[in-house]
Amino acid sequence: MSHNISSESDKLLLHDAITNNDMNKIQQLLQNGFDIHTTNQHGFSPLHMAT
């Protein structure tokens, strides 16, 4: 399993942090190697969601 996915909900953690505008969590995830280009089930990357 990719570390980009929460084992609890199968949601992409970085997508959730961006949706919730949680800047501390976003920074933490990126510093720990989470992929800004990973797409969700709808084909959106975190960059799409941030704009």
**What is the pLDDT at residue 42?**
85
23 pLDDT above the threshold of 50: yes
45 pLDDT above the threshold of 80: yes
User: In the predicted model, what is the mean pLDDT of residues 6-24?
Assistant: 77
Can you give the residue ranges of every domain in the chain?
13-50
**What is the pLDDT at residue 4?**
61
Who contacts 4 (Cβ-Cβ below 8 Å, separation ≥6)? 12, 13, 14, 34, 35, 38
Please state, in angstroms and rounded to a whole number, the distance separating the CA atoms of residues 12 and 43: 12
pLDDT, the chain, mean: 81
